[in-house]
Amino acid sequence: MGVDLRQVVAGILTITMFIMLGQMLHRDYYDSLQEKAQGDAHDIEFEGSRVSVKDSLVGAVEGSKGPWMDDDNEAVSSKGYVTFSLTNGPEYHISQITDAVMVAKHLGATLVLPDIRGSKPGDERSFEDIYYADKLIKSLKNVVKVVKQLPEEVSLRNIAIVKVPTRVTEDYIKEHIKPIFKSKGNIRVATYFPSVNLRKSSQDGETDPVACLAMFGSLELQPEVNAVVESMIEKLRTHSRKSGGRFIAVDLRIDILERKNCHSTGVAGSKTCYNAQEIALFLRKLGFSGDTTIYLTQPRWDSSLNILKDIFPKTFTKEAIMPASKRSKYLESENSEYENVIDFYISSRSDVFVPAISGLFYANTVGKRIALGKPQVLVPAEISETSGLATDFISPYISKKNHLAYSCFC
């Protein structure tokens, strides 16, 4: 069989592009976190409290001070309970569970595992359908007691519903929530989002180590769902053999683009969202070759994506790379919670992430990538010249290190 020199050159160019992108970031930061993401135990200092991270679980370091007790002791809780639900997809789940853990911890209450509710009426799942309950309970055992179900003797009618702003603080809990908890004994937390921005600022003060633990050390996919994600990532890497197994994940969903007003952000050449043609031109001008493998979060293939596939033939949506035996369960509807979770975790694990849409998915994916040591996030923009440098389009969350995650990982 003859060798197509054009394919060889394309493969070399793509590998070179990925290597340059990795080298353009601070090597000490990237290499150290990348090593830590492989499962080796390491320590992190959370504002003076040292904790250990191993296999995505966070626990106390022997002799450390702070909110964590000895590994042999479990958190002490009152007779009251904090309940809540996970809604609107995994990008919201991270914030919702963080706020619920914060509330339960600072009230001395017992946390009840949430259910998971989709966007459609009646679309409800148990926590264990998607996430690994035992790992969550284990990771939080020295901070807050967690139970899988609310005891039967607790009446739902006696639970007060409390709205909580995301990134809730201990001071807010003491002032606004504790009086209600003392009066009612049990509460249901409903997180609302005044902003989807996860930038840290000088006004934020110190990040509560409990929030760091909940945000980055509690949620993990249950084994079956995780196996599906792993098989899809392996399929993408198989398609990327000429690129060293590297691939790009692009958060591009047609339904959101149709509803969203893609207006200018005020920065030259920058908008709040981009269509398939604009993403294709952006990647090509940055130097990615036509042999580059791309994963799209779009639920099913749409004709408007053809322009992207014309330039990058190895562009896939999930139905093309998911094992056939799993499609009936995990692709049952275009708005399935399973699909949203799969998109989030593949986007977090890709070699490069490109958010075609601004919002909380972008913000929390960047946070997850920072925790995993994968800072290669390129924010699209219109490139007026024939080519551009990837260094000019690194996410400000990364280049300015102003993401909330940097308060937890130093």
Segment 321-343, tens digit of pLDDT? 999 999 989 987 655 789 999 99
Helix (H, G, I), strand (E, B) or coil at 390: helix
User: Where are the chain's structural domains?
Assistant: 81-218, 223-408
Q: What is the mean pLDDT of residues 49-76?
A: 42
Phi, psi torsion values for 387, nearest 5 degrees: -150, 165
pLDDT at 53: 42
Q: Is the pTM of this model over 0.85?
A: no
Which pLDDT value is given to residue 332? 74
Distance CA 346, CA 329 (A): 18
Apex 33 CA angle, 138 and 376, nearest 5: 115
- Distance from chain centroid for Cα 253: 17
Round to whole Å and give the CA distance between 7 and 11.
Answer: 6
Q: Categorize the per-residue pLDDT at 147 as very low, low, confident or very high, splitting at 50, 70 and 90.
A: very high
Asked whether residue 304 carries a pLDDT value surpassing 80, the answer given is yes
Residues 6+ away with beta carbon under 8 Å from 141? 74, 75
* 186 CB neighbour count, 10 Å cutoff: 20
Quote the pLDDT of residue 124.
87
Encode pLDDT of 358-409 as tens digits. Answer: 999 999 999 999 999 999 999 999 998 888 999 999 999 999 999 999 999 8
Architecture of domain 223-408: 3-Layer(aba) Sandwich (3.40)
Per DSSP, the three-state class of 267 is: coil
